[in-house]
């Protein structure tokens, strides 16, 4: 769930026709891998890798449901994966071709089994949390040194937001993440599928709507790093990338990321093989390659997201494994919740509510 942006990103369309048996076509999130791994894969296996990227689950899902995507590996987020499995979009993994699966981390795979029972169709690639990124200096200047930078009240309490509006606040344009956050704030079940409960989120947003500069799921990385905005609800790794960009630029901006103390959402990006993949064998080779402890560690060290691979942890850089924003402590893990996909009718209510919140119509 890295960047939900527009469908118009040039998802490089595949030339129709039979793919050669020595090609593996991977469709992953943008900016989500160390590209050296791609070269390494080709050198080690002799297979040709065609690597395309997307930036929204919706775009991926539409390709999956239309059928004939031509990809061998795709990377949907848990809730989307679950729905696509029930639509019959994926094939079961052949575990005999995946010896590296023993590296997987049970803490994560027990949770992903909620989306994919027995993890029969997918393996975890990365996971993370949805939380609050702040420009510490600016927020403390406006709200005082005790500013609740790790609490949802920072972004949902109109008294705080009124002051923060001056320096800019972005919300994710992702109702499946934002509505659970608002429900958590008012003490409701974040995973509620009851339209009446979901409707309560509207008041929460409307109270702070005038102070929100923008609903967008990707611009906040740069905007936080440049100091253009001071608060964003965003995805863990993205905020950490903003933190590092600010540090590199040495512009005096200090960014911090926190999963909310009231409870934060945890999500999982899962690799799966489409039912009509042209080269399922090559797909298994790729999955096995990515589950190699050192390869997976290289990917995490590069993108600042945690992975579901226990063996990789000894190869992780200290600023990744040691950062509680990436790898939360076991107690903090307890405080994270997961959500399940909405039924079509409820989904319509949610989308409609979101349009109303954003556009006032």
Partner 1 sequence: MRKALVIAIPYLWLLALFLVPFLIVLKISLSDSVLAIPPYAPKLDLSEGWGGLMRFVSELDFENFAFLASDNLYWKAYLSSLRIAVIATFLTLLVGYPIAYAMARAPEEWRPTLLMLVILPFWTSFLIRVYSWMGILSSEGYLNQLLLKLGLISEPLTILNTNIAVFIGIVYTYLPFMILPIYAALEKLDGSLLEAAEDLGCSRTSAFWLVTLPLSRSGIIAGCFLVFIPSIGEFVIPSLLGGSDTLMIGKVLWEEFFSNRDWPVASAVAVILLLILIIPIILFQRNEQRQREADS
Q: Which residues bind partner 1 (CB under 8 A)?
A: 6-8, 10, 56, 58-59, 61-62, 64-67, 83, 86-89, 173, 175, 214-215, 226, 228, 344, 347-348, 351-352, 355, 358-361
Nearer to partner 1, 64 or 204 (CB): 64
Instruction: Report, in Å, the least distance between residue 268 CB and partner 1.
Output: 20
CA angle 196, 201, 206 (to 5 degrees): 130
| Residue 329 tokens, joined | 């402590």
Nearer to partner 1, 193 or 214 (CB): 214
Nearer to partner 1, 28 or 82 (CB): 82
Nearer to partner 1, 56 or 241 (CB): 56
Instruction: Report, in Å, the least distance between residue 202 CB and partner 1.
Output: 15
Instruction: Report, in Å, the least distance between residue 215 CB and partner 1.
Output: 5
Instruction: Report, in Å, the least distance between residue 85 CB and partner 1.
Output: 10
CA angle 244, 250, 251 (to 5 degrees): 105
DSSP strand pairing (169-171 vs 214-215): parallel
Instruction: Report, in Å, the least distance between residue 166 CB and partner 1.
Output: 13
Residue 164 near residue 231 (C-beta atoms within 8 A): yes
Instruction: Report, in Å, the least distance between residue 32 CB and partner 1.
Output: 20
Nearer to partner 1, 56 or 307 (CB): 56
Nearer to partner 1, 62 or 261 (CB): 62
Helices 57-66/78-86 angle, 10° precision:
10
Per-residue 3-state assignment (H helix, E strand, C coil) for the chain:
CCCCCCCCCCCCCCCCCCCCCCEEEEEEECCCCCHHHHHHHHHHHCCEEEEEEECCHHHHHHHHHHCCCCCCEECCEHHHHHHHHHCCCECCCCHHHCHHHHHECHHHHHHHCCCCHHHCCEEEEEEEEEEEEEEHHHHHHHHCCCCCCCCCHHHHCHHHHHHHHHHCEEECCCHHHHHHHHHHHCCCCCCCCCHHHHHHHHHHHHHHHHHCCEECCCCHHHHHHHCCCCEEEEEHHHHHHHHHHHHHHCCCCCEEEECCCCCEEEEEEEEECECCCCCHHHHHHHHHHHCCHHHHHHHHHHHCCEECECHHHHHCCHHHHCCCCCCCCHHHHHCEECCCCCCHHHHHHHHHHHHHHHHCC
Instruction: Report, in Å, the least distance between residue 126 CB and partner 1.
Output: 23
Nearer to partner 1, 151 or 347 (CB): 347
Instruction: Report, in Å, the least distance between residue 61 CB and partner 1.
Output: 7
Nearer to partner 1, 5 or 327 (CB): 5
Nearer to partner 1, 2 or 111 (CB): 2
Instruction: Report, in Å, the least distance between residue 355 CB and partner 1.
Output: 6
């Amino acid at each position: 769930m890295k960047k939900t942006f527009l469908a118009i990103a040039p998802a490089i369309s595949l030339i129709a026709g039979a793919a050669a048996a020595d090609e593996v076509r991977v469709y992953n999130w943008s900016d989500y891998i160390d590209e050296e791994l791609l070269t390494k894969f080709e050198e080690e296996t002799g297979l040709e890798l065609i690597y395309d990227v997307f930036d929204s689950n919706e775009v991926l899902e539409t390709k999956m449901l239309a059928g004939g995507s031509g990809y061998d590996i795709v990377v949907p987020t848990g809730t989307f994966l679950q729905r696509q499995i029930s639509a019959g979009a994926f094939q079961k993994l052949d575990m005999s071709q995946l010896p590296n699966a023993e590296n997987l981390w049970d803490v994560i795979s027990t949770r992903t089994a909620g989306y994919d029972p027995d993890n029969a169709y997918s393996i975890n690639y990365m996971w993370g949390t949805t939380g609050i990124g702040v420009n510490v200096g600016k927020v403390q200047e406006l709200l005082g040194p005790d500013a609740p930078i790790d609490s949802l009240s920072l972004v949902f309490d109109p008294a705080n937001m009124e002051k923060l509006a001056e320096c800019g606040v972005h919300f994710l344009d992702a109702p499946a993440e934002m509505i659970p956050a608002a429900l958590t704030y008012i003490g409701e079940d974040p995973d509620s599928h009851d339209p009446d409960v979901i409707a309560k989120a509207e008041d929460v947003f409307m109270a702070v709507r005038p102070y929100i500069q923008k609903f967008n799921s990707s611009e906040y990385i740069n905007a936080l790093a440049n100091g253009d905005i001071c608060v964003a609800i965003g995805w863990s790794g993205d905020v950490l990338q903003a933190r590092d960009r600010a540090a590199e630029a040495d512009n005096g901006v200090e960014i911090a990321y926190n999963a909310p103390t009231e409870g934060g959402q945890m999500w999982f990006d899962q690799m799966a093989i489409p039912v009509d993949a042209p080269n399922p064998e090559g797909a298994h080779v790729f999955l096995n390659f990515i589950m190699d402890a050192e390869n997976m560690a290289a990917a995490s060290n590069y993108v600042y997201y945690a992975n579901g691979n226990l063996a990789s942890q000894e190869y992780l850089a200290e600023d990744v494994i040691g950062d509680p924003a990436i790898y939360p402590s076991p107690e903090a893990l307890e405080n994270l919740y997961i959500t399940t996909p909405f039924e079509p009718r409820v989904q319509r209510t949610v989308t409609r509510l979101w349009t109303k919140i954003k556009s006032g119509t």
